Amino acid sequence: MADITGINLGGDTNIANVLQRKYDPTLYQLNRLDVGISKKFNKLKNFQTIGAGFYFGTVMRDDEKGVSSETEDATITTPERPTYIQGYVVDFYMYATIRLTAQAAARAKRGGGWVSDFIADQIKRKREQLYRYDNEQCCRNGDGVCTQANGAGSSSTSMTVDSTRHLHVGMYIEVYTAAGVAEIASVKITNINRKTKVLTLASASDWSDNSNVYRDGQYNSGTPLEHAGLRQMISEDTSTTFQNINRGTYLEYIAYHDSDGGAPSRDKLFQAINHAELWGSKGVIDDIWMNRQTRNKYFQIIMPAIQYQGPKDLELAYNPQDNPITFEAKTFAVDECIFDGDTFGINWDTMGRITSKEIGTDSAIPQLNNTLLRDAGKDAVSLFLSWFTNPVCMDPRSNFRISGTDTLYTY
């Protein structure tokens, strides 16, 4: 065995070694990642990341109050100049492992266009798979409800629902009444009729009309938009008031939602935009696993955005002059950055350029036309592998929308 389509093995018969030498290391790493996320998570440079994120600051001048509320009025502390109301970043990072199979190796030996065919096909498939999971995560409303039963059932395997958007065959669901009474602990969906919106369940069950359907294990579990969880990121107060962050309560926490059961968690893991400590913290990796072991690896991080009232008055958890945000030998002004991309190993090939634009009636995300913010301001958006996934505007002064859905979420 001397050559693989013109590649000189140099006496090495291990195709993995050859690929490591001959191809970009990232391409090689793409095929050897499925070895346990807990072991590899602190080396995210080995992963191909798919996701999107943005931060923003909405501007309120002395004659602009937006939606009238006491908390909002209280934020206008300097009427003679703009006041930047702090927003939040909601980043969905999704990644998938791709392994080099024996068939792919055989195709490479035959000159079958391994790189162009196999990798491109795998990435396409993984994108579709990740999009489906993401679609499930971004549920119809903030409490994690995927859909509602349209009619009651008694020892039945056919359930009519009002929407099948967040469901798929093979998915396990659990059902609770609006009052929180458990009706179905766990049942598998074996078939979905998208036209009639009828689910076929693996076993006969009972449920009430208008009962809420959740993905198994996610009832009251802090799925992406769980109301109390969002408020707990700001303070321990879980009242119905969505609180603005001010100088005295500036968020120095990274918060994450555990979708494998349990309430949303918050811990003072590190100051803003210092991801390295998170990935190196023992036990954190398992805590933020999403979707159980049967799911693809999927997680979300919710970070504080940047609040400032002038170029000389940046309100951050650290001094950017002492700790500049840099990656790929480039340095960014703090108000132009989303996160420290170097931690994730994101480079300009996978990320593209960070861009800023005025908020208008169009979306901050290219080729999406829904309005993310209705106030003037700036945002920044990054895309990886030409892919984005449902960035959410958490501006407490306005509605926010998840792209690709028809529902407005209002506080």
Using the predicted structure, report yes or no on whether residue 192 has a pLDDT greater than 60: yes
Confidence band, pLDDT 50/70/90 cuts, at residue 149: very high
Highest-scoring range by mean pLDDT, 83-92, 100-109, 308-317, 329-338: 100-109
Confidence band, pLDDT 50/70/90 cuts, at residue 125: low
Read off the pLDDT of each residue in 115-125 and give the average, rounded to a whole number: 54
Q: pLDDT: is 260 or 12 the higher one? A: 12
**How many CB atoms are closer than 10 A to CB 260?**
17
Task: Determine which helix (DSSP H) or strand (DSSP E) holds 308, and give its type and residue range.
Answer: strand 307-308
pLDDT single digits (tens) 341-361: 222 222 222 222 223 333 233
- Residues 6 or more apart whose Cβ sits within 8 Å of residue 318: 271, 272, 273, 274
Q: Classify the C-alpha dihedral 354-299-172-127 as positive or negative.
A: positive
Residue ranges covered by each domain of the chain: 46-96+221-409, 147-214
Using the predicted structure, report yes or no on whether residue 145 has a pLDDT greater than 60: yes
Contact by Cβ (8 Å): 132, 171: no
Pairing of strands 307-308, 49-60: unpaired
pTM: 0.31
Contact by Cβ (8 Å): 98, 313: no
Task: Determine which helix (DSSP H) or strand (DSSP E) holds 25, and give its type and residue range.
Answer: helix 25-29
pLDDT single digits (tens) 291-304: 233 222 222 222 22
User: What whole-number percentage of the chain has pLDDT above 90?
Assistant: 8
